[in-house]
Amino acid sequence: MNAPDPGRPEDGAASLRRALHATAGELAPPPYPAERVRRLGRRRVRARRAVVAVPAAAAVLAAVAVGLPQWSGGEGPSAAGAAADKAPGTRVTPSLAPAQPPVPSARPWPAVRTVRAGEPVEIGRGQVLTLSEDQVCHRDTTEPGGGVEDACKSVSDGNQAAGSVSIQSSGTLLRPLYIGPGRAARMTVEVDGEVHRAQVLTLEGNPGYAVGYAWGAGVAFDGPTPKVRVSDAEGGLLAEFP
């Protein structure tokens, strides 16, 4: 740098340059970090090699997946190969098959109702049944006068054979009657293709019969013949009609 001319006034820029030059002359530059630069260079080279190697590894995995036998389920090698194609270089964990929804249980049968002999049992819609040791009586309280007369059917006169079932109908009320030694627990009445589950009534002990009731289409004399089935608690058939 040229020395200032003592005959000329020194401007601000020249004064700043002279001060910087004087200060920098007293500083010693640090040694060149050659080893650190070489380490950084080696790291960059390895990183570039890894980037090139990843697509090659993905291609190899895809080829292996194609060569493996195909499985119908979601846990076989084909599923693992597909996962490897989607995420090369990651650990593949076969996915579990989706849980199946629980199967809904069948509608439970109505429990058998045990009543006392001579006890009026209201079964709905103004209808009343009364069971005794030797007969079943039905009263329709919606009739004029409150249905003072019962329509009764004997269970001991021999008009219905043991081990059989009959069917009575009053309007939309269906009343199957089973007579026999078995313990009736399930009764169904099918009318014109529609199946109705009947509520079973019986007496305490072993009365030798059981009666049921259900609401459905009325049974006409000139209509289709109803089908009645009576089973025990395990589903064993006791009787059927016709």
Please check the confidence at residue 140 and state whether its pLDDT lies above 80: yes
Please check the confidence at residue 221 and state whether its pLDDT lies above 80: no
- Predicted pLDDT at 52: 52
* Token digits of residue 24: 């920098």
Residue 79, φ and ψ in degrees, nearest 5 = -65, -40
CA distance 89 to 109: 58
Contact 139, 127 (CB under 8 A): yes
Q: pLDDT above 70 covers what percent of the chain?
A: 64
Q: What is the pTM of this model?
A: 0.56
CA distance 208 to 153: 14
**Ordered alpha helix ranges (H), the chain:** 12-25, 34-67, 77-86
Please check the confidence at residue 201 and state whether its pLDDT lies above 80: yes
Which single residue is written with the structure tokens 């950084």?
A: 40
Give 61-97 pLDDT, tens digit per residue. Answer: 555 444 444 444 444 444 444 444 545 555 555 555 5
